[in-house]
Amino acid sequence: MQELTKAEEKIMQLLWDAEKAFVKELIEKIEGKKPSYTTVSTIVRILETKKFVGHKAYGNTHQYFPLISREEYAKFATRSVLDRYFDGSFKKLVSFFAKKEEIDIEELDDIMKMMEKEEKKDDTHSNS
C-alpha cells in the first residue's frame, strides 16, 4: 500500500463517508473553495491507479467507490508513522505525547485498557 498525498486523502475521506460518488458529488462535499472538475477527476484516477478506488461506468460517467477501507488505511498510516518516527514502538509514541503533556493520566489509563482488550481478542483469535 502507498501513502496518500493530502489531496488524495481528502478525496478518500469524502469517498469513505459517501461509500460511492460521482466526481460532481465529491466536489459538492468539499468545503470552502471548490477545486475544478478536472482536478478532482485527476486525483480520483490516481487513486484508481494506486488501487484505492474502483468505479462503475454509466455511459461516459463513472461512479467511484473505495477499495480500501478507512480502517485498513489508518492501520497502514499509523504503522508508517510508528516506523519512521518512533522505531516501530507504540510505547515511544505514547511516551512522546505524555512528555508533551498532550495526554493526561486518565487517557493513558484508557489507552492501556483498550490495548489489554485488543490483546485478549488477539489471543482468543490465535488460539482458535
Q: How far apart are CA 36 and CA 84, in angstroms?
A: 34
pTM for the predicted model, two decimal places: 0.74
pLDDT of residue 126: 57
pLDDT of residue 101: 67
Residue 52: domain span = 6-66
Ranges in the chain, pLDDT < 50: none
Identify whether residues 96 and 61 lie together within a single domain.
no
Q: How far apart are CA 48 and CA 35, in angstroms?
A: 19
Identify whether residues 54 and 99 lie together within a single domain.
no
Q: How far apart are CA 17 and CA 9, in angstroms?
A: 12
Q: First vs last Cα of the chain: how many Å apart?
A: 29
When divided into structural domains, the chain yields a total of 2
pLDDT of residue 30: 94
Residue 75 lies in a domain: no
pLDDT of residue 96: 81
Residue 80 lies in a domain: no
Identify whether residues 59 and 97 lie together within a single domain.
no
pLDDT of residue 125: 60
Identify whether residues 57 and 90 lie together within a single domain.
no
Identify whether residues 43 and 94 lie together within a single domain.
no
pLDDT of residue 109: 78
CATH number at residue 11: 1.10.10.10
**Per residue in 13-33, pLDDT tens?**
999 999 999 999 999 999 999
Residue 73 lies in a domain: no
85 HSE (CA, 13 A, CB side): 12
